[in-house]
């Protein structure tokens, strides 16, 4: 699989957004790979980690988020499942699960319903260890402050506004991965 070729296919004509996506995703991939090297006992698939981390936000171009040059029609929270749909159509169902399950610290069906989120009503929690590592690594990087890694405290603060479930998952990952 060539993750960059897939990104190139969907990101034509919006160089600012492509730069944001590539920079953010590279930071997430690098952190995920660092975790894999620190924890060989987890037996993580490093090639998959890199590919899936590079592709985890591929759906952002379909959303409306002016601050990061997204001019699509869907709310930004939809980028995960929209990216998953793209990757399934490309023949990458395992990578698609990372897209779908990385939003916040994952989203349970109950959280989706309680918050009345405009996304499909199904569990979108990271399951595989690779999904969990990428979701965790993603929380340390924003798309507005590229190349600046957030502290654990800032990552927790950004998750806290969506409820305690995501905070608890993130805290659990801190114990597992740091």
Per the confidence metrics, is the pTM higher than 0.95? Answer: yes
Q: Which two tokens stand for residue 133?
A: 């590592």
Is the CB of residue 46 less than 8 Å from the CB of residue 36? Answer: yes
Categorise residue 175: left if φ over 0, alpha if ψ from -120 to 50, beta otherwise.
Answer: alpha
d(CA 172, CA 169): 5
Which of 55, 24, 132 has its CA nearest to residue 124? 132
Between residues 32 and 14, the one the model is more confident about: 32
All structural domains of the chain: 3-177 (1.10.3210)
The model's pLDDT over 107-135, given as tens digits with 9 standing for 90+, comes to 999 999 999 999 999 999 999 999 999 99
What pLDDT band is residue 147 in, cutting at 50, 70 and 90? confident
pLDDT band of 161, cuts 50, 70, 90? confident
| pLDDT tens digits, 33-82 | 999 999 999 999 999 999 999 999 999 999 999 999 999 999 999 999 99
Q: pLDDT confidence of 6, banded at 50, 70, 90?
A: very high
Identify the pLDDT of residue 162: 79
For the residues 79-88, what does the mean pLDDT come to?
98
Average pLDDT of the residues of the chain: 96
pLDDT value of position 104: 92
């Amino acid at each position: 699989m060539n993750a960059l070729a897939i990104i190139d296919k969907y990101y034509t004509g919006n160089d600012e957004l492509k730069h944001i996506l590539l920079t953010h995703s590279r930071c997430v991939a690098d952190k995920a790979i660092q975790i894999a090297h620190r924890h060989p006992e987890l037996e993580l698939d490093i090639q998959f980690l890199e590919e899936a981390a590079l592709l985890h936000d591929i759906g952002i171009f379909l959303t409306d988020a002016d601050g990061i040059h997204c001019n699509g029609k869907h709310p930004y929270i939809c980028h995960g499942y929209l990216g998953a749909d793209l990757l399934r159509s490309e023949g990458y169902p395992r990578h698609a699960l990372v897209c779908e399950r990385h939003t916040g610290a994952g989203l349970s069906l109950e959280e989706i319903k309680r918050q009345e989120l405009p996304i499909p009503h199904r569990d979108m929690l990271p399951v595989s260890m690779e999904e969990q590592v990428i979701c965790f690594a993603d929380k340390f990087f924003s798309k507005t402050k590229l190349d600046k890694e957030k502290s654990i405290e800032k990552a927790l603060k950004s998750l806290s506004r969506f409820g305690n479930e995501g905070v608890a998952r993130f805290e659990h990952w801190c114990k597992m991965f740091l």
